[in-house]
Structure 1
Amino acid sequence: MMTIKDSANAAEVRAALGLGEEHREWTEALERTPVGAAVAEIPTGQQLASLLTQLKVPAEDQAEVAEAAEKATEPGTPWFWLLERTVAALRAGMGLDTPMPSRPLLTGHGPTGRWLTVLACLAAVPDVRALHATMEVPDEVSWASLGILGEKVAVRRRTLEAEGAEVEPPFPFDDYVLPVFQGRRYRLDGLDCRASNVSIEVRLPYGTEPFAIPADRAWAHEIHYFFCRLPRRYADGVRFGYDAIPCYVGSWVNDPAVADFFPQDHEIRRFTSKYQYINHNGPGPADKTGLTPGDRDALEHAFGQSPADRPTALCLTPTTPVQRAVLEHLQAGNHWSLDYSGQAIWDYSPSPRRTA
């Protein structure tokens, strides 16, 4: 492994790893990230295996993650330079709703490049757990939320296995996993709930069946009161009696086309019928892969995969009614919409259950 000086800059790191111009903005942003006294540490051996299992990382990936961790934590290497600063950026955003420098894929740089973002999350687990402790988040909610990381790794693995390809699909770090490691997204009653500074967004993870929790106002208030624990108010500027905090579900299940496949008493339609408002924007244009965001949401929720493109998606084999509905709609030449529906929370006063 090539070594670099402790004072190395972003250009030297790129040169050492053979990174191109597409990595300039990312590495220069990391160069500007202050690195504190706390080092980026990842457990080893059985402790690492136990942590990966607790985070739901597939067993098939754990050996490669351990190999990548060994290389990335070696001081004086360009990988450690990247890891240390990525962890520092995660720690700086703890409890906040702020973006991080976007990371281009490092698929051509072996296991260490493939798993770098996941390694940074592993190093930040103690920091997230400490944040959860200050908010008295129950242990089962804390670990279930952190397990979203492994679930997204599993989506990537299923996608690769189904396609039989080595082209790595994008890892949804910025829009899905990052809020988990900022203490902003939580697995609550089987649903993934994220607090931004002005709203609560709810998403349906893979395999959310049946929908045990109705999307009614009481449920929305329970989620809201949970997020009142945040150290930084997520609803700054909301004026009681004038504005409302939206608690909304963004999902393909809000598409009116769902009614073409399921009867009115089906659990999905019962779930969506409880909304106070619904916003149908239509599917919008597909990207260069031939899929819309709604298509991808439906495919990941139903199949646990993120196919490379529309032709690959159409080759999937459905085995459940939900999978058949998702695929039949696409096979008919249609797209799924990613519509938003939910509840307006007018009363944002603290709940008696509030603990922080």
Structure 2
Amino acid sequence: MTIKDSANAAEVREALGLGEEHREWTEALERTPVGTTEAEIPTGKQLNALLAQLKVPAEDHAELAKAAQKATEPGTAWCWLVERTVAALRATMGLDTPMPSRPALTDHGPTGRWLTLLACLAVVPDVRALHATMEVPDEVSWASLGILGEKVAVRRRTLEEAADGVEAEAETPFPFDDYVLPVFQGRRYRLDGFDCRASNDSIDVRLPHGTQPFGILPDVAWAHEIHYFFRRLPHRYANGVKFGYTGISCYVGSWINDPAVADFFPEDHEIRRFTSAYQYINNRGPGPADKTGLTPGDRDALEHAFGQMPADRATALRLTPTTPVQRAVLEHLKAGNHWALNYSGQAIWDYSPFPRRSA
């Protein structure tokens, strides 16, 4: 269904059959100024090449190409949404400004499923330009952008493991906006195998699936090195930190910070050595599970160990462990317990330029 060039959020929702749960998101996009630079998404071989460089599984390329064609058709509600999502990303480039929250569009086919990813593809040149001004090495730049494809691969593995086919497809959208979008705002980077994000008052470090980060200890020197990287940002930590007066936390958010890890691994295990290097430990406990029977810590443990995001606890317990870490994750859950997503790390007080450690 086509819409007028001057269409508002209500008309877009009506054209796509979106409910009230989409009002806040679409109205936020309506308030986003759209510049003269169009939201261009590559096509054909160029699109496939870009998707491959971003580590998007080849099995998803054809569906993404169809979604891109539909989403960029002028005069459509999908084009309205993509253009404004791209404009919002460009307006927040280099800033820790949250994007308008987007409800899942699982019942709107491939275009709804991949809408945010398509906007990310359109701003790759903008992110690369920001990286160039910061003198970010090419390998770090592309490794960081590749976080997008890795998250798509998590979704694909989850679907392949699920036994309920169409129902699983409907319940497994691309749910990583809060993780992936900071990459395309120039705030999250893959550094030494870690996913590091500069927020307004801290550095948030996560341990992605498929990496082996435990050979690097998160000590004070490591924290300063990460902080030194983020001092290149044009806006550094936005408006949240008064330099010289307030400490910056460089913390690792992970299930491995749960004290229960000690029940499964000896003190000399690489995970235990890793967590022993923290300056402070923040143990808040797992908290209550959501309606799926999983806590944020459970989901973090399952994704980190298995590279999957099971829909619920029952599905998670059906996974087949093949490594000691996978067995530990599942044994804890099968015993009726939950994993905590704790944040532990270092406090940084020295804001002078800190030289990189020698290799």
> Does TM, normalized by the shorter one, top 0.5?
yes
Does residue 1:107 correspond to 2:110, yes or no? no
Q: Is there any run of 5+ residues in structure 1 with no aligned partner, and where?
A: none
Does residue 1:256 correspond to 2:267, yes or no? no
Does residue 1:24 correspond to 2:23, yes or no? yes
Does residue 1:49 correspond to 2:48, yes or no? yes
| 1:170 CA drift (Å) | 4.7
Partner of 1:247: 250
Q: Is there any run of 5+ residues in structure 2 with no aligned partner, and where?
A: none
Does residue 1:333 correspond to 2:313, yes or no? no
What is the distance in 2 between the residues matched to 1:256 and 1:289? 24
Residues 4 and 76, structure 1, Cα contact 8 Å, conserved in 2 = yes
RMSD, matched Cα: 1.3
Residues 70 and 111, structure 2, Cα contact 8 Å, conserved in 1 = yes
What is the distance in 2 between the residues matched to 1:126 and 1:299? 33
The Cα offsets for residues 23-79 of structure 1, whole Å up to 9 and x where unpaired, read as 111111111110000000001111100000000101100110011001111111111
Normalising by structure 1, we get a TM-score of 0.96
What is the distance in 1 between the residues matched to 2:320 and 2:185? 36
Equivalent residue in structure 1 for 2:241, among 233, 237, 241: 237
| 1:342 aligned counterpart, secondary structure | strand
Partner of 1:116: 115
What is the distance in 2 between the residues matched to 1:110 and 1:154? 19
Partner of 1:73: 72
| 2:345 aligned counterpart, secondary structure | strand
What is the distance in 2 between the residues matched to 1:128 and 1:106? 26
| 2:223 aligned counterpart, secondary structure | helix
Residues 58 and 154, structure 1, Cα contact 8 Å, conserved in 2 = yes
Partner of 1:156: 155
Partner of 1:350: 353
| 1:9 CA drift (Å) | 1.1
Given residue 184 of structure 1, which amino acid in structure 2 is its aligned partner?
A: R
Superposition map of 1:178-217 within 5 A: 178-209=181-212, 211-217=214-220
Partner of 1:37: 36
Residues 160 and 167, structure 1, Cα contact 8 Å, conserved in 2 = no
Does residue 1:309 correspond to 2:312, yes or no? yes
What is the distance in 2 between the residues matched to 1:173 and 1:26? 16
Partner of 1:91: 90
Given residue 97 of structure 1, which amino acid in structure 2 is its aligned partner?
A: D
The Cα offsets for residues 251-272 of structure 1, whole Å up to 9 and x where unpaired, read as 0001111111111111111111
Quick one: percent identity of the two aligned structures? 84
Residues 160 and 168, structure 1, Cα contact 8 Å, conserved in 2 = no
What is the distance in 2 between the residues matched to 1:198 and 1:210? 24
What is the distance in 1 between the residues matched to 2:300 and 2:225? 25
What is the distance in 2 between the residues matched to 1:224 and 1:38? 33
What is the distance in 1 between the residues matched to 2:109 and 2:142? 29
What is the distance in 1 between the residues matched to 2:351 and 2:292? 42
| 2:204 aligned counterpart, secondary structure | strand
Residues 238 and 245, structure 1, Cα contact 8 Å, conserved in 2 = no
| 1:334 aligned counterpart, secondary structure | coil
Distance 1:5 1:206, change over 3 A: same
What is the distance in 1 between the residues matched to 2:79 and 2:67? 11
Given residue 42 of structure 2, which amino acid in structure 1 is its aligned partner?
A: P
Residues 114 and 174, structure 2, Cα contact 8 Å, conserved in 1 = no
| 1:143 CA drift (Å) | 0.4
Residues 113 and 174, structure 2, Cα contact 8 Å, conserved in 1 = no
Given residue 181 of structure 2, which amino acid in structure 1 is its aligned partner?
A: L
Aligned length: 351
